[in-house]
Chain A
Amino acid sequence: MRYIFLFIIIFSSVNAGAKGVYQSNADFLNEVFHNNLPKTQSLWLLNNIKKGAEKILGEKPSQLRIRYWARDQQTAWILEEVGKEKLITVGFLIENNTLKKIKVLAFRESRGWEVKEDFFLEQFFQRRLTSELKLDRNIDGISGATLSVRALKKLSRLALFYHQQVIEKNTL
């Protein structure tokens, strides 16, 4: 009985800390730009950019304008995608078409929160986008977090794709 009680306490405390807002958008941006935040810019999803985003998402993007912050060859993006039912918010820092930092900022689903852990996110470090708009290396999944893993892969591809578009347009 004692062990069951202990298990319930441990399990509930682990679960309680699982979902929620881990870092605010502003804190993430200040962290990646060392408290010297560049001004907010926007990328409009029109024509080919919209088509590319559609190819990655498998459906029409939910909005037509995406915010980003840029300095030198770096861009930062805060993107959202539904895991199973609720939105997962993820922050990205990209430099020279390579993923430099990825962080789950908010996770609202009841399952699959393991995607916020470093052991999983490390796989995305230094990833690039292929010409087919896929990641250049396979990302190992997490059992029980399939949909959250899928959402993070999509968002990583989107961030790298948006970065490419910004660089191509020389808007940096």
Chain B
Amino acid sequence: MSQYLQTKNSTRKRGGLLVFIIFHRWVGISTFILLLSLAITGIMLNHTEELKLNQSYIKNTWLQNWYGIKMPQQQNFIKLDNTLIAQIGKKLYLNQSHLLDEKSPLIGSYKSNDFIIIAMKKALYLFTLEGDLIERLDSEKNLPSPISRIGFSELIQNSNQLMIEVNQQYYTSNDDFLSWTKIQSKEFYPLELEDPKNVDKTFYQNAYLGNELNLERVILDLHSGRLLGRFGVYLMDLAAIILIMLGLSGTWIWSRRFRK
């Protein structure tokens, strides 16, 4: 009788162990993808600098949309002969070269024989025709501001008589923009911005959007689960808990087998 009970007890124990092994196996298989992602992204994040994750940018439109990255509202363009000046957000471009960052909006631009003049609301930039910065003028350099428009007093454009409009007053410079003089002008012919609809924005869209989201952020969000929002974070929490459970259950199964 006691032998029967011993056999029955042992069978029950073996059956329990078997169930546990099956549970351990399936939980392991079902969370494998998550654990693999956690491990690979973890290794990558440990080597951010070597892998240059913070310098690699995501060009994928779907991911950019997922992160809500879109073109900024501030998009101003000016065409000067063969030169296109573009302001996308705070980034200022001369043709396809990124010149500098300037928050205040682009007001107007003019190309003389010597300079390219770019007027922003609170600053005026002088560039060589090759795009090298000559000088940035602002209120500390006696530039009247905020500039609302730039233009000329006559229809025939004369670079020496470029005027800036500030609070409905007109100023001009006769010494290559070192100083400004207020002038009375009955006529004012402003230089207009280009209608954005007439500009091919493909390059600027790629240049702007392609520099907003770096690989480090995506890997970090993949690691923490934030890529899938709050649900993703809980999912990765669950994966981490399961990883702990697998460790414990694996050890338990191993110890039971070892005892035999």
Interface residues of A (CB under 8 A from B): 24-26, 39-42, 62-65, 67
Closest 9 CB pairs of A and B: A40-B178, A65-B135, A64-B134, A65-B134, A63-B133, A25-B140, A63-B135, A40-B179, A64-B132
List 5 A–B pairs whose Cβ atoms lie within 8 Å, in order of A's numbering: A41-B178, A63-B135, A64-B128, A65-B126, A67-B141
Which of A25, A39, A63 is the one whose CB lies under 8 Å from B134?
Answer: A63
Cβ-defined contact, A42 with B133, below 8 A:
no
Whether A67 contacts B133 by the Cβ 8 Å rule is no
Q: Is the CB of A63 within 8 A of B141?
A: no
Given the interface pairs A24-B140, A25-B140, the reply to whether A67 lies near B178 with Cβ below 8 Å is yes
CA distance A25 to B138 in the complex (A): 12
Q: Is the interface of B mostly helix, strand, loop or mixed?
A: mixed
Question: How many chain B residues have a CB neighbour from A under 8 Å?
Answer: 14
Is residue B154 within 8 Å, beta carbon to beta carbon, of the partner chain? Answer: no
Pick from B128, B135, B136, B179 the residue with the most CB of A within 10 Å.
B135
B90 to chain A, nearest CB (A): 17
Kindly state whether residue B237 has any CB partner on chain A within 8 Å.
no
Q: Is the CB of B178 within 8 A of A42?
A: yes
Please determine whether B133 and A62 come into contact, CB atoms closer than 8 angstroms. yes
Name the A residues within 8 Å of B132 (CB-CB): 64
Within 118-162 of B, Cβ neighbours of A (below 8 Å) are at: 126, 128, 132-136, 140-142
Nearest-neighbour CB distance to chain B for A128, whole angstroms, equals 28
Which residues in B have their C-beta under 8 angstroms from that of A25? 140-141
- Known pairs A63-B134, A64-B133, A67-B141; list 15 more (Cβ under 8 Å): A24-B140, A25-B141, A26-B142, A40-B178, A40-B179, A41-B178, A42-B176, A42-B178, A62-B133, A63-B133, A63-B136, A64-B132, A65-B135, A67-B135, A67-B178
